[in-house]
Amino acid sequence: MKNIAQLLQLEENCRNCDSAKELGYIIVNETRDLISYDQAVLISPDISAKLRVQAISDISVVEMTSPFTQWAEDVANHLLNLDNSSSLHVVNIQSDLTLPQQTELKDFSPSNILWIPLTTKKEIEVEFYLMLFKNSLWSDNEKSLLKHLASSYSYFLYSLHKSSFNIWLKNRSFNSKYVKIVLALILLLMFFPISLTVLAPLEVKAKNPLVITSPLNGAIDKINVFPDQVVKKGALIVKLEDTEFNHNYIIAQRTLEVAKAQLHTTKQNSFVDYSKKSQISAIESEVRLKEAEMEFAKYEFEKTNIYAEKSGTVIINDPNEWVGKSVVVGERILLIADPKSIQLKIMLPVSDAIFLNEGALVKIFFDNDPLNTWGGKISQIYYEPELTPQTVLSYKIIADFDKIDENGYIPKIGLRGTAKIYSEKVTLFFYLFKKPITSIRQWIGW
């Protein structure tokens, strides 16, 4: 009655297992509650049909490189090729094992080995083998009980492995003519030519915009325009702080007036005092210098007002950020662009770089209009990579639209989306496995 209770408990434990690893641990360890043995090894074939150790009694993790594990696999693969490998039997050490295996047996395990197949054939085949080792001989009662357990273990193993991909793959027959035809077609498809493509983020940019820069060293007093505003030629767009420039202009005017008055007085006195005539030339030079200084001061004062040199759309982020900001000569403040003169800036990540030529085709998808596409061609490629705002090292590529109003409207400057860039023809195999090939080459240095 005690053995029956233990048998039922063992089968209940097996039935409640959640994984094959847990079931294997119970098989090699808890079988000892019914049958006395020193060591147990659970083995199953891999995809190549070579037996590999799955579990060993008294240890939780199998060390595949240990001498005992390698010896057990060697013995199991040898026993599998014998005529009686499909039935439960006691291994005959002298006739069933090779001489090296017999020699190593003394170092690794007890001399009595019981071979127990745990196999089942339903819609798929599940194949496991259990080897039990002990010093004493195996009794008939033990072999009978183990035969019953083998049937139960086979069913439990089947239940956990029936959906395993490795088991399914191992049981597929590749000798079928249909399978061979499919494999041949797949092989031929790998040589099918296809355009190599890559995806990269894009942004609509102005083409040859008018750059408005600061003509003076000073501070911004006011920005008279706002983003995306349409301005006409001659409109006041930026005003610099002019207090100092106005003051300099007034002083230059007064200084010029003084110089002219001095010149007039000297000329009048020269009619009375002949010696004054020698001073007229020097004072005239001084007047011309003061005139030049006044003209320059006037020029600077007039440049505090910046006017649009052509009509177009204003491109600026936030005008309020510029108010009170110091600027230097040549510092860019804003752009004025023709909304019909646009191009694409594409940032191609270095990791996705492919061979490209000018004129390569580009298919354009905008985020705000995912159902429509635009056609384009690459016009310029920058070969020095740069960091994007997202800190991605990328190559900058400039592309032009084939037809700017291809879908009934002109894309606005600043729109973002995705560009699909077409490169040269490659095989389908290279197209599918480009990144793995690149990674392997970088790893092995070939």
Q: Quick check: is 417 in a domain?
A: yes
Contact 337, 210 (CB under 8 A): yes
Whether 400 and 269 share a structural domain: no
Looking at residue 126, what is its pLDDT?
65
> Which whole number is the average pLDDT over 437-442?
68
Whether 9 and 137 share a structural domain: yes
Q: Which two tokens stand for residue 62?
A: 């199998």
Q: Tell me: the pLDDT tens digits for 305-352?
A: 999 989 999 998 888 888 989 999 989 999 999 888 999 999 998 877
Contact 57, 39 (CB under 8 A): yes
Whether 251 and 392 share a structural domain: no
Q: Which residue has the higher pLDDT, 355 or 149?
A: 149
Contact 333, 195 (CB under 8 A): no
Q: Quick check: is 54 in a domain?
A: yes
Of 37-51, 96-110, 277-291, 297-311, least confident by mean pLDDT is 277-291
Instruction: Indicate the number of domains in the chain.
Output: 3
Looking at residue 37, what is its pLDDT?
92
What do you get for the CA distance between the two ends of the chain, in Å?
Answer: 69
Q: Tell me: the pLDDT tens digits for 125-152?
A: 568 899 999 989 999 888 888 888 888 8
Residues 311 and 243: their CA atoms lie apart, in Å, by 29
Last residue of a domain, one of 108, 143, 170: 170
Q: For strand 230-231 and strand 386-387, is the pairing parallel, antiparallel, or unpaired?
A: unpaired
Q: Quick check: is 324 in a domain?
A: yes
Enclosing domain of residue 140? 2-170
Burial of 357 (0-12, 13-18, 19+ CB in 10 A): exposed
Identify the CATH number of the domain in which residue 46 sits. 3.30.450.40
> Among residues of the chain, what percentage have pLDDT more than 90?
27
Whether 357 and 312 share a structural domain: no
Q: Tell me: the pLDDT tens digits for 7-27?
A: 888 888 888 888 888 888 999
Q: Quick check: is 190 in a domain?
A: no
pTM of structure:
0.53
Q: Quick check: is 195 in a domain?
A: no
Q: Quick check: is 202 in a domain?
A: no
Residues 434 and 303: their CA atoms lie apart, in Å, by 57
Last residue of a domain, one of 279, 310, 335: 335
Contacts 24+ apart (CB under 8 A), 105-109: 108/67, 108/68, 108/71, 108/72, 109/38, 109/39, 109/68, 109/133
Whether 311 and 247 share a structural domain: yes
Whether 414 and 297 share a structural domain: no
Q: For strand 210-213 and strand 125-134, is the pairing parallel, antiparallel, or unpaired?
A: unpaired
Q: Tell me: the pLDDT tens digits for 184-227?
A: 888 888 888 877 888 899 999 999 899 999 999 989 999 999 88
Alpha helix locations (H) across 347-402? none
Last residue of a domain, one of 335, 356, 387: 335
Average pLDDT score over the chain: 84
Whether 145 and 99 share a structural domain: yes
